[in-house]
Structure 1
Amino acid sequence: MTFSQLLDAVRDNPQAVTIPASWSQGRSCFGGLMAALQLEAMRAKVAADRPVRSLAISFIGPPAIDVPISFEVQMLREGKAVSQVLGRAVQNGETVTLIQGSFGAPRESMIAVAAEPAPSFKPVDEVPDFPFIPGVMPEYLRYIDMRWALGGLPYSNTKSPAIGGYARLHDVVEERLTEAHLLALVDTWPPAVLPHLSKPAPGSSLTWSIEFVQPLPAMTTHDWTQYRAVIEHARDGYGHVAAALWAPDGELVAISRQTVTVFG
């Protein structure tokens, strides 16, 4: 199933969505997809004029492949402008992913501060493809086009303080890019600490917070996004990473922070 087909599946029946092995990340489902599916279930419960502003995501346990998942939603509070929503992905009676989301309508304000510009990378056409290698890379990467433009590759024993480059989904027909797509594009990048390792070792996100800069610019699923992640601290098997995602014109669209675990 493609990314778009899985989004359709959670809209049609959020109580029973089965993720196929082609979207696996090691022994589990791709975390960015899990977050995107839960967001779609939450989005259906919130007024359309309240875009998602932020998500706080905890990956409680590894969801199994090819086993139905229920994406449950609870409205915690609905104020005049902001809706606070709890999303819970449940498999075999156990919570595997938990998301607290804030959805907010725009307000009048005299404050307007421009974001920092996108980092200066080589143009995307000058950066080589990051090819998918079956059996070596996580399966979900077959659905992502990536071009590595900053820092060392995973397990290259490169003490990179940052990684980054370009990414887009390539399994979908051209359609409007939404926050669900952005979740997959941000999380498709490996933990920024992995280039420091000299050989493969497991690594995953423990917690993840992401903020969306609204309104999103007009983008499609065929547009390249630009990503940069900076390691702020790492020790004792945990890394703290700040990241951001930009539109093709350099406009900031998402701000991300992750606590990652590394077993190496």
Structure 2
Amino acid sequence: MTDENFSRFDVHTVSLRSAHFAGSVEDHETSNGAIMIDLLTLLTGLRADGETYQIAVSEDWLQGRTTFGGLSAAICVESALRQYADLPPLRSAQFTFVGPATGLLSVRPAILRQGSSTTFVGVDLCGAAGLATRATLCFGSARSSAIHHPPVMAPQTPDRELCQPFFDSRAPLVTQHFDCLRAGGALPLDGSPNPNYQVWLRHRGSAPQSITGLVAVADALPPAALVLSKTIAPLSTVSWMIDVLTDQLETSDGWWLIEASADNAADGYSSQAMTIWNASGRAVAHARQDIAIFI
């Protein structure tokens, strides 16, 4: 978000390997006349230049003075997948947002270490002001194991048809790339003492139904700490990570259920945990995020 509304709350990922897509519209126009370029279309502009990739991001994917964090992360993952075609599934990813991602973006993936079952890839995304995002990605093949413990099932929520929109007119333009429904908990700027909410979320328009599509949508929400405030404040994600619990990333009509809970908010920072389930209630990812709050 921009500094004038919910501020710079971020989003993150994308792979064009999948032939399955949610939606069919390449771009659409908002009520105020802005043209929205969907995720799939935007990523066709990611072009290789030797070992580096370049991409220009359209204004509808900006939050304040930087590229939407989820998109920056998506570009990092997509560049790794394109550079190294035989990577196993993504198991874990960490993203540190060092500075603003503006202008023509340059992305450089590099293998840090490759073992018998896991490959670590580092990705630096740079903009006009220098390094913007640094990613560390762990790709790993599945292995037989005697250890098994099922993840927590999804909370009970109303049917999606009964849920109201989560975003309101104060949300930044980039949120119009997503359909988002309130499934439970509080709302940003409620002033509630319980910084927790659940939402149904999916891409609007064409997007890969893959790990990269999931990462992109997983960071589309404002920090849960905003529930504690009644005052709009500038926000900025410092770091974001996601652990992928399965390589079976399937859901119904593109919908994912996401719960976000702030563990702590003090000294200008907030730490939060997130869980993502598919439409059948199966957990597919856990995530954590550290946010700087300027209020």
TM-score normalised by structure 1 residue count: 0.91
Structure 2 gaps of 5+ residues are 1-36
Aligned to 2:193: 159
Q: CA deviation at 1:171?
A: 1.6
Aligned to 2:161: 125
**How far, CA to CA, are the matches of 1:129 and 1:93 in structure 2?**
36
Structure 2 counterpart SS, 1:43: helix
Picking from 207, 225, 228, the partner of 2:259 is: 228
The structure 1 segments of at least 4 consecutive aligned residues displaced by more than 6 Å after TM superposition are: none
**How far, CA to CA, are the matches of 1:168 and 1:89 in structure 2?**
25
Structure 2 counterpart SS, 1:261: strand
**How far, CA to CA, are the matches of 2:195 and 2:128 in structure 1?**
40
**How far, CA to CA, are the matches of 1:211 and 1:178 in structure 2?**
15
After TM superposition, the structure 1 = structure 2 runs for residues 94-105 of structure 1, keeping only pairs within 5 Å, are 94-105=130-141
The letter of the residue matching 1:263 is F
Kept in 2, the 8 Å contact 1:23–1:140? The answer is yes
**How far, CA to CA, are the matches of 1:131 and 1:162 in structure 2?**
15
Q: CA deviation at 1:11?
A: 5.7
Report whether the alignment pairs 1:214 with 2:246.
yes
Kept in 1, the 8 Å contact 2:195–2:227? The answer is no
Picking from 8, 31, 35, the partner of 2:73 is: 35
The letter of the residue matching 2:237 is S
Deviates more, 1:225-234 or 1:176-185: 176-185
Aligned to 1:16: 54
Structure 1 gaps of 5+ residues are none
CA RMSD of aligned residues (A): 1.8
Kept in 2, the 8 Å contact 1:150–1:163? The answer is yes
The letter of the residue matching 2:172 is P
**How far, CA to CA, are the matches of 2:184 and 2:138 in structure 1?**
32
Q: CA deviation at 1:238?
A: 0.7
- What percentage of residue pairs aligned between the two structures are identical? 27
Report whether the alignment pairs 1:198 with 2:230.
yes
What whole-Å deviation, never above 9, does each CA across 1:32-77 have from its counterpart, x for those lacking one? 111011100011233535111000110001212xx11011101111
Structure 2 counterpart SS, 1:9: coil
**How far, CA to CA, are the matches of 1:39 and 1:131 in structure 2?**
27
CA gap 1:132/1:12 in 2 versus in 1, 3 angstroms: farther
**How far, CA to CA, are the matches of 2:45 and 2:205 in structure 1?**
16
Q: How many residues align?
A: 257
The letter of the residue matching 2:112 is L
Picking from 256, 260, 264, the partner of 2:291 is: 260
Kept in 2, the 8 Å contact 1:132–1:142? The answer is no
Kept in 2, the 8 Å contact 1:152–1:159? The answer is no
**How far, CA to CA, are the matches of 1:58 and 1:49 in structure 2?**
22
Aligned to 1:109: 145
Aligned to 2:6: none
Structure 1 counterpart SS, 2:44: helix
**How far, CA to CA, are the matches of 1:260 and 1:17 in structure 2?**
26
After TM superposition, the structure 1 = structure 2 runs for residues 49-128 of structure 1, keeping only pairs within 5 Å, are 50-64=88-102, 67-92=103-128, 94-128=130-164
Q: CA deviation at 1:199?
A: 1.3
Deviates more, 1:29-38 or 1:176-185: 176-185
Structure 2 counterpart SS, 1:15: strand
Report whether the alignment pairs 1:141 with 2:172.
no
The letter of the residue matching 2:211 is E
The letter of the residue matching 1:224 is W
CA gap 1:131/1:242 in 2 versus in 1, 3 angstroms: closer
Structure 1 counterpart SS, 2:123: strand
CA gap 1:155/1:104 in 2 versus in 1, 3 angstroms: same
**How far, CA to CA, are the matches of 1:12 and 1:47 in structure 2?**
14
Deviates more, 1:102-111 or 1:9-18: 9-18
Aligned to 1:187: 219
TM-score normalised by structure 2 residue count: 0.82
